[in-house]
Amino acid sequence: MTIDLRSDTVTKPSKDMLDAMHQAPVGDDVFQEDPSINALESFAAGMFGKEKALFCPSGTMTNQIAIRCHTQPGDEVICDELSHVYQYEGGGIASNSGASVKLLQGDRGRITASMVESSIHNPDDIHKPVSRLVVLENTANRGGGSCYAFNDILEIGNVARQHGLSFHIDGARLFNALVAKGETALQYGEAFDTISICLSKGLGAPVGSLLLGDDGFIKKARRIRKVFGGGMRQVGSLAAAGFYALQHNIDRLSTDHAHAKAIEAILKEKSFVKEVVPVETNIVIAECMPGFNLSAFISSMSNKGVLFFAISPTRFRMVTHLDIHADMINQLDDSLKQYN
């Protein structure tokens, strides 16, 4: 049995999800005539209390469309240095939007209102780019699945609003944060101008992300989605997978979090592990002792069917998801027995 802890993107659609996909009515979504896409978009918009939603192939696309809609070339986007929008979207902020980036050094991917406030340029200073957009990420991927305190989000939102900046959240794993912190989608809908959520991470759909915002924003976003090549046709079966995920796979994220905690406890007992970054959701990051041969460890574990990645020469990451079951955690424990 393979235990694939490389990412929560590796999940396969369940039988029930496949049934829902098979039964979905479809139409041409560029004409906005796909009933399953329309149903998903209005359901998701309702969850967050937003006027509209837009289905896109990936979270990279929803983030990049949002950045493009909020900025003009030369404007500045404020985000943490570990942000997905900066680190893992191929330089898209520059190439898609011609915008510059102000990177802040937050705590495990989380920035604060005072950091944001002090990074906003005087709009009358013609030497400076125009500060236009603040992007947060929750949970923070490179932060090891860390969650914001909701009050910090509100404070950052207030600073953004006072200075006329837009406020976007990369919520690829927002539902992990909601479940971990007991927060609601509506709170986030109220706090942010625009929201990106992924259906293909912990929620277990094979593909798809949603961008949420008000009517005017989504109109603009629909145009940019077309420009980016993301206008798709009879994709209602993909929407049905996402709809199924939103209806059935949110509450169970607490199981993934419990499994990640169990992995944290196992790793903490190992002498080759120097430190485990405190687990908050479904991502476990461990730092190895100096001199430990991490790449040999990863390939030896891979031979035993346990897959995960190094994220630096001394750190590795394990991610739990809906295809990781309790018996696999026990098997992981067994596979690690030879390491004290």
Ligand X SMILES: *Cc1c(COP(=O)(O)O)cnc(C)c1O
Give the Cβ contact number of residue 81 at 10 Å: 15
3-state secondary structure of 46: helix
Distances (CA, A) of 313 to 278, 296, 297: 20, 12, 12
Nearer to ligand X, 62 or 100 (CB): 62
Among 141, 176, 249, 320, binds ligand X (CB under 6 A): 141
Nearer to ligand X, 20 or 61 (CB): 61
| Residue 170 is a binding residue for ligand X (CB under 6 A) | yes
Contact 71, 89 (CB under 8 A): no
CA torsion sign for 273, 105, 90, 196 is positive
- Widest CA span in the chain: 63
Give the Cβ contact number of residue 187 at 10 Å: 16
* DSSP 8-state code for residue 53: E
Among 14, 30, 39, 58, binds ligand X (CB under 6 A): 58
Main-chain dihedrals φ then ψ at residue 37, nearest 5 degrees: -65, -45
| Residue 209 is a binding residue for ligand X (CB under 6 A) | yes
Tell me, by CB under 6 A, how many residues bind ligand X. 12
Query: Which residues within the stretch 268-307 sit at the binding site for ligand X (CB under 6 A)?
Result: none
| Closest among 203, 205, 207, 186 to 195, alpha carbons compared | 186
3-state secondary structure of 7: coil
Nearer to ligand X, 166 or 209 (CB): 209
Nearer to ligand X, 77 or 273 (CB): 77
Q: Provide, rounded to whole angstroms, the least separation between the CB of residue 159 and ligand X.
A: 22
Query: Which residues within the stretch 66-125 sit at the binding site for ligand X (CB under 6 A)?
Result: 84
Contact 281, 177 (CB under 8 A): yes
Nearer to ligand X, 266 or 284 (CB): 284
| Residue 137 is a binding residue for ligand X (CB under 6 A) | yes
Nearer to ligand X, 242 or 336 (CB): 242
Contact 106, 112 (CB under 8 A): yes
Give the containing element (helix H, strand E) for 332.
helix 326-335
Query: Which residues within the stretch 173-202 sit at the binding site for ligand X (CB under 6 A)?
Result: 198, 201
Interface characters, 222-251, with ligand X (x: CB under 6 A) = ------------------------------
Mark the segment that binds ligand X (CB under 6 A) among 58-66, 145-153, 251-259, 292-300: 58-66
| Closest among 324, 319, 185 to 246, alpha carbons compared | 185
Mark the segment that binds ligand X (CB under 6 A) among 40-48, 54-62, 224-232, 251-259: 54-62
Nearer to ligand X, 141 or 166 (CB): 141
Mark the segment that binds ligand X (CB under 6 A) among 10-18, 52-60, 151-159, 227-235: 52-60
* DSSP 8-state code for residue 280: S
Among 67, 160, 172, 253, binds ligand X (CB under 6 A): 172
| Closest among 277, 228, 263 to 89, alpha carbons compared | 228
Residue nearest to ligand X (CB): 59
Mark the segment that binds ligand X (CB under 6 A) among 56-64, 125-133, 264-272, 310-318: 56-64
Nearer to ligand X, 11 or 141 (CB): 141
d(CA 246, CA 18): 14
Contacts to ligand X by CB under 6 A? 58-60, 63, 84, 137, 141, 170, 172, 198, 201, 209
